[in-house]
Chain A
Amino acid sequence: MTGWLQPHRIVLAGLGLALAVWCALTLRWGWLPEYTPLLLEGLWRTIWLLVVTVVLGMALAIPLGLAQAAGPWYLAQPALWFCTIIRGTPLLLQLWLLYYGLGSLFPQYPWIRQSELWPILRQAWPYAVLALTLSFAGYEGEIMRGAFKGVPRGQLEAAKAMGMPRWTMLRRIWLPQAISRALPTLGGETVLQLKATPLVATITVVDIYAVSNRVRQDTFIVYEPLLLLAVIYMAITGIIVLAFRHLEQRVPTRRA
């Protein structure tokens, strides 16, 4: 704690506090009360999108990484192509390709509108979830590949020598160690995923960025909503970083 009490830090903290108070008093915040329900709804949608796509993306990334690390060529190659294509093209393009590209096919196949899936295909959030999940899986698949390869071979060979079935070895030895190896990078990638969520506003999903746009259109106030948005994103990032640091401390590692 002594590090925080050095004179220059105190001055900087004081300046920062003064800046925050000045912003709170002089900038225009009159729009806040009216838009708070909408802001909370947008915040909920952002967090929900982040959590769902990270979980689904990891679920997809583990087989992708495993296929590339240990799989036969007919599984490894498509996994490699998938990761390369996802990492080689912008997320915005993938998002628009899925939403508007698939949307342009709907008029040509009228039977889609009668099908069971129509209520889901009609809305925008399934496309957002799909695009963000595929994007996360593409980047994570590459990271999991390295993590799987990084687990010491000796442990896997010992398990095989003991006669452990392959699935049990994966579940008990390979996967947990690979995930704990990848944990620091996973934290960074989750933050990157959070920073990718504003893009869904371009396909009409109302996340918190879309709400700030709405405030801007209604009130013509440009900077204050964006500043509030920046603060909110920084707060969520801080929470994610702390959560992952807590997770990393719970993993027992032998430090050399």
Chain B
Amino acid sequence: MQALIDALGLGPTLELLALSPPGWGGNLLRGLVNSIQIALGAFGLGLVIGTLGAYGKLYGGPVLRDLLAIYTTVVRAVPELILILILYYAATDALNKALIGAGFERVQISGFAAGIAVLGIVQGAYATEVLRGAILAVPSGQIEAARAMGMPPLLLARRITLPAMLAFALPGLANLWLIATKDTALLAVVGFGELTLETRQAAGATKHYFTFFIAAGILYLALTLLSTRVFGWIERWARRGEPRIGGAGR
């Protein structure tokens, strides 16, 4: 194994990528963990906002529907980088000004929380559309029957709508998860220590740009492929019991 590595000339590269110092692999993995944590937080927050938004768009009053339409349109039309910058600085600023105005102490929001909040708001707009489409796909007869039975709305949502719409929503949600993992790279522009920033710092400190960027690319790709596999399992679980559609197409 060692001989093969030496023959390919990969010795110094693997030293640079070693997990413990002086190799920078540990830094990269720490950045990857940060990225995954932010992506998870943003995806979760996006799901919450998306569920509320989808219900609002479907069952809310006209004003609520218009406001939600403005929210989804603005977020989907403005680049994430601009949104991240505006929310990253403006949100903390506004929060602190409000707190000071109300007489409280200035509070410090960690970069971590700010990143999750910002990406979560962006994800929420897309999730609203995905979940709205999925809820519309649930056969309305089931919902009407439950209402006729006198089921309270919250129980209806929990027992019937959400489980049934999950199968329809999963492809879109899988896409959103992948978008979340890749959008964490944009936080490098505001200086948050996730994988892309760690890669740039490692490359800048050692001048081995190709090595580190390709290593980061491999890490992201591994994350993507693993996520796709996991979502495939989840979709198969969500579609359990559905009749198989065999022989579609020629």
A–B touch (CB < 8 A): the answer is yes
A residues bordering B, Cβ < 8 Å? 6, 8-9, 12, 84-85, 87-94, 96-97, 100-101, 103-105, 153, 191, 194-199, 202, 209, 222-223, 226-227, 229-230, 233-234, 237-238
CA of A191 to CA of B77 in the docked complex: distance in angstroms? Answer: 7
Question: How many Å from the CB of B171 to the closest CB on chain A?
Answer: 12
* In the complex, B79 has a CB within 8 A of chain A: yes
Contact between A195 and B79, CB atoms less than 8 A apart: yes
Neighbour of A233 across the interface among B82, B224, B225, CB < 8 A: B82
Interface of A, secondary structure class, is helix
* In the complex, B196 has a CB within 8 A of chain A: yes
Question: Can you identify 24 A-B contacts, CB atoms within 8 angstroms?
Answer: A8-B62, A9-B66, A12-B63, A85-B217, A88-B178, A89-B221, A89-B224, A90-B185, A91-B182, A92-B189, A96-B196, A96-B200, A100-B209, A100-B213, A101-B213, A103-B209, A104-B210, A195-B80, A209-B82, A226-B82, A226-B86, A227-B86, A230-B83, A233-B77
Contact between B196 and A233, CB atoms less than 8 A apart: no
Chain B residues positioned under 8 Å from A101 (CB to CB): 209-210, 213-214
Chain B residues positioned under 8 Å from A195 (CB to CB): 78-80
* Known contacts A84-B221, A90-B220, then 15 further A-B pairs from the complex at CB < 8 Å, ordered by chain A residue: A8-B62, A88-B178, A89-B182, A89-B217, A92-B196, A93-B185, A93-B199, A96-B200, A104-B208, A105-B210, A153-B250, A199-B186, A230-B74, A233-B79, A234-B74
Neighbour of A229 across the interface among B62, B82, B199, CB < 8 A: B82
Beta-carbon nearest neighbor of B219 in chain A: A89
Chain A residues positioned under 8 Å from B74 (CB to CB): 230, 234
Question: How many Å from the CB of B174 to the closest CB on chain A?
Answer: 12
Known: A87-B224, A234-B77, A234-B78. A97 touches B214 (CB 8 A): yes
Contact between B224 and A88, CB atoms less than 8 A apart: yes
Chain A residues positioned under 8 Å from B184 (CB to CB): 90
Known: A92-B188, A96-B213, A104-B210. A196 touches B79 (CB 8 A): yes
Beta-carbon nearest neighbor of A202 in chain B: B189
Chain A residues positioned under 8 Å from B220 (CB to CB): 88-90, 93
Chain B residues positioned under 8 Å from A196 (CB to CB): 79
* In the complex, B106 has a CB within 8 A of chain A: no
B residues bordering A, Cβ < 8 Å? 62-63, 66-67, 74, 76-83, 85-86, 89-90, 178, 182-186, 188-189, 196, 199-200, 203, 207-210, 213-214, 216-217, 220-221, 223-225, 250
Beta-carbon nearest neighbor of A229 in chain B: B82
Beta-carbon nearest neighbor of B209 in chain A: A104
**Closest 8 A/B residue pairs (Cβ):** A88-B224, A90-B185, A195-B79, A237-B77, A97-B213, A104-B209, A90-B182, A88-B221
CA of A54 to CA of B151 in the docked complex: distance in angstroms? Answer: 51
Chain B residues positioned under 8 Å from A233 (CB to CB): 77-79, 82
Known: A8-B66, A104-B209. A191 touches B76 (CB 8 A): yes
Chain A residues positioned under 8 Å from B81 (CB to CB): 198-199, 209
Beta-carbon nearest neighbor of B67 in chain A: A12
Chain B residues positioned under 8 Å from A104 (CB to CB): 207-210
Neighbour of A222 across the interface among B66, B78, B89, CB < 8 A: B89
Beta-carbon nearest neighbor of A104 in chain B: B209
CA of A223 to CA of B91 in the docked complex: distance in angstroms? Answer: 11
Contact between A230 and B182, CB atoms less than 8 A apart: no
Chain B residues positioned under 8 Å from A88 (CB to CB): 178, 220-221, 223-225
Most A CB within 10 A of own CB, among B78, B183, B216: B78
Known: A9-B66, A93-B185, A234-B74. A223 touches B209 (CB 8 A): no
CA of A229 to CA of B74 in the docked complex: distance in angstroms? Answer: 12
Beta-carbon nearest neighbor of A88 in chain B: B224
Neighbour of A85 across the interface among B76, B77, B221, CB < 8 A: B221
Beta-carbon nearest neighbor of B81 in chain A: A198
CA of A194 to CA of B81 in the docked complex: distance in angstroms? Answer: 12
Beta-carbon nearest neighbor of B217 in chain A: A89
CA of A6 to CA of B220 in the docked complex: distance in angstroms? Answer: 49
Contact between B79 and A198, CB atoms less than 8 A apart: yes
Contact between A198 and B225, CB atoms less than 8 A apart: no
Beta-carbon nearest neighbor of B224 in chain A: A88
CA of A185 to CA of B62 in the docked complex: distance in angstroms? Answer: 28
Chain A residues positioned under 8 Å from B185 (CB to CB): 90-93
Beta-carbon nearest neighbor of A230 in chain B: B78
Contact between B213 and A93, CB atoms less than 8 A apart: yes
Beta-carbon nearest neighbor of B186 in chain A: A92
Beta-carbon nearest neighbor of B207 in chain A: A104
CA of A172 to CA of B208 in the docked complex: distance in angstroms? Answer: 50
Neighbour of B86 across the interface among A85, A94, A230, A234, CB < 8 A: A230
CA of A105 to CA of B217 in the docked complex: distance in angstroms? Answer: 18
